[in-house]
Chains A and B, each alone.
Chain A
Amino acid sequence: MRREPPQTLGDYSPLLFPAAMLTIFFVVPFGTMIAVSFFQRQQGGFYTTAFVFDNYQRFLSAFFGGVLGFSLMMAIAVAICCVVLALPFTYLLTRMARRVQIVWLVALLSILSLSEVIIGFAWSTLFSRTAGITNILVALGLMGEAKALTPSFAAVLTGMVYQAFPYTVLVLFPALVRLDPTLTEAARTLGASPLRAFFTVVVPALRNTIVATLIMVFIFALGSYLLPQLLGRPQHWTLSVLITDQAIYQSNMPFAAAMAVFLVLVTLGLVALTVIAGRKGEAA
Chain B
Amino acid sequence: MTSVFRKFYFFLIALFLALPLIVVAGVSVNQKQTLAFPPEGFSTSWYGEIFLNTEWRNALFASVTLAVLSAALAVAIALPLAWFLWRRVAPWANIFQLLGVAPFTLPPVITALGLLTFWATAGFYGQPWTAVVSHGIFFVTLPLVTLSLGFTSIDRSLVEAAATMGADERTIFRTVVLPLILPYIVSGYAFAFVLSLNEYIVAYMTVGFTMETLPIKIFNALRYGYTPTMASVTVLFVSTAALIFGLVARFGDLPKLLGAMASDQK
What residues of chain A have their CB less than 8 Å away from a CB belonging to chain B? 1-6, 11, 14-19, 21-23, 25-30, 32-33, 36, 85, 88-89, 92, 97-98, 101-102, 105-111, 113-126, 128, 130-133, 135, 162, 165-166, 170, 173-174, 177-178, 194-195, 219, 222-223, 225-226, 230, 240, 243-244, 247-248, 253, 256-257, 260, 263-264, 267, 271
Quick one: given A14-B84, A18-B77, A110-B241, are A125 and B259 in contact (CB under 8 Å)? no
Interchain CB contact under 8 A, B23 and A267: no
Residues of A within 8 A of B26 (CB): 131
Residues of A within 8 A of B48 (CB): none
Contact of B103 among A18, A26, A109 (CB under 8 A): A26
**Cβ contacts A to B, 28 pairs, < 8 Å:** A4-B87, A5-B89, A6-B90, A11-B88, A14-B81, A17-B80, A18-B100, A19-B96, A32-B121, A33-B110, A97-B266, A98-B266, A105-B249, A111-B17, A111-B238, A114-B198, A115-B214, A117-B218, A128-B35, A131-B27, A132-B23, A173-B260, A225-B200, A226-B201, A240-B107, A243-B113, A244-B109, A244-B112
Residues of A within 8 A of B215 (CB): 115-118
Interchain CB contact under 8 A, B24 and A121: yes
Residues of A within 8 A of B105 (CB): 219, 267, 271
Whole-angstrom distance from the CB of A255 to the nearest CB of chain B? 11
Interchain CB contact under 8 A, A260 and B109: yes
Interchain CB contact under 8 A, B107 and A118: no
8 pairs of A and B residues whose beta carbons are closest in the complex: A174-B259, A223-B107, A122-B20, A29-B118, A131-B37, A115-B198, A29-B114, A18-B81
What residues of chain B have their CB less than 8 Å away from a CB belonging to chain A? 2, 6, 9-10, 13, 16-17, 19-21, 23-24, 26-27, 34-37, 76-78, 80-81, 83-84, 86-90, 93, 96, 99-100, 102-103, 105-118, 120-121, 133-134, 136-137, 140, 156, 159-160, 163, 172, 194-195, 197-201, 204-205, 208, 214-216, 218-219, 222, 226, 230-231, 233-234, 237-238, 241-242, 245-246, 249, 254-255, 258-261, 265-266
CA of A273 to CA of B201, assembled, Å: 27
Interchain CB contact under 8 A, B222 and A29: no
What DSSP secondary structure best describes chain A's contact surface?
A: helix
Interchain CB contact under 8 A, A4 and B89: yes
Contact of B113 among A2, A21, A89, A256 (CB under 8 A): A256
Contact of B116 among A117, A247, A267 (CB under 8 A): A247
CA of A240 to CA of B36, assembled, Å: 32
Give B107's nearest chain A residue, CB to CB. A223
CA of A165 to CA of B18, assembled, Å: 13
Interchain CB contact under 8 A, B156 and A1: yes
Interchain CB contact under 8 A, A110 and B13: no
CA of A21 to CA of B134, assembled, Å: 10
Interchain CB contact under 8 A, A223 and B109: yes
Instruction: Name the residue among A5, A25, A114 with the largest chain B CB count within 10 angstroms.
Output: A25
Interchain CB contact under 8 A, B265 and A29: no
CA of A119 to CA of B20, assembled, Å: 8
Contact of B27 among A30, A125, A225 (CB under 8 A): A125
CA of A133 to CA of B261, assembled, Å: 41
Residues of B within 8 A of A247 (CB): 113, 116, 205
Whole-angstrom distance from the CB of B67 to the nearest CB of chain A? 11
Residues of B within 8 A of A102 (CB): 249, 254-255
Whole-angstrom distance from the CB of A83 to the nearest CB of chain B? 14
